[in-house]
Amino acid sequence: MERMLVVVFDDENKACEGKSALRQLEVEGNITIFRAAVVAKNADNTTEVKQYDDVNPSGTLVGTSVGGLIGLLGGPVGVAIGAVSGLTLGALADVGEARVGEGHVEEVSSWLPPGKVAVVAEVDEGWTAPVDSRMEALGGTVIRRALWELRDQLRKDEIDALKADLAQVKAEFASANEKRRTKLRGRIDQLQARIDQQKKRAQESLQAFQARAAEKRELFKKNASAVGQALKDLVRTPPR
């Protein structure tokens, strides 16, 4: 199952250990990591990106679930980029990209007060025990939430609402006098333009989803290959 994983630690060193441990769990075949970052909550309540690595060649948090959640955790104060370049608050703070809902953001925020540091990762895991046991051994508190596609449903609902408005205005147009029709034509054009815009965004979202799905399939292949090689190496290792 695809999940947003947040593991909160007392300091940056422990958080970096936690991220390394997640990578080891991936090598062992327990999880697949799509993106991961280490973030800290500063005294002024900004969220600072301390470390970030991404197997995606684009090498960016923008437009990702991890980036969306980090941006939302920054709240009204914002995100301090720190040593990570190429990121902006506006691009990161997207509830649609986060795909976890406001309740999860509030829960993570409550566990991530100023001074704490967390690993934020988008992962696929078949069961929770490997991550929980490894993170708890390092002193981490694990918070997870299944990911879901909120934005696409919201866009569909908005298109349906716009179409309903358009149908009503067209019905009024049919029985209106010429003066009234002049005003209604402008309204009809505006509604149609908004519908076309939302349809375009929906198509772009579909293309992005397909690209993301292809990327994840490649990651699964890579992870499976790594596990297979580890097993082969284990078989070739002579007994002590």
Sheet containing 31-41: order of strands: 79-80, 47-54, 31-41, 117-125, 2-9, 141-146
pLDDT at 236 exceeding the cut of 70: no
Contacts (Cβ under 8 Å, ≥6 apart) of 185: 173
The predicted pLDDT at position 92 comes to: 52
Q: Supply the pLDDT for residue 213.
A: 62
pLDDT tens, 76-96? 555 554 444 444 444 455 545
What mean pLDDT do residues 200-215 have?
71
What is the predicted pLDDT for the residue at 45? 82
Q: Which of 18-22, 68-72, 106-110, 234-238 has the lowest mean pLDDT?
A: 234-238
Q: Between 75 and 197, whose confidence is greater?
A: 197
pLDDT in tens, 96-145: 555 666 677 788 888 999 999 999 998 888 888 999 999 999 999 999 88
Q: How confident is the model at residue 29 (pLDDT cuts 50, 70, 90)?
A: confident
- Whether residue 18 contacts residue 140, with contact meaning beta carbons closer than 8 Å, is answered with yes
pLDDT given for residue 34 in this prediction:
84
Q: Determine the average pLDDT of the residues in 213-229.
A: 60
Helical ranges in 75-117 per DSSP H: 89-92, 95-98, 102-111
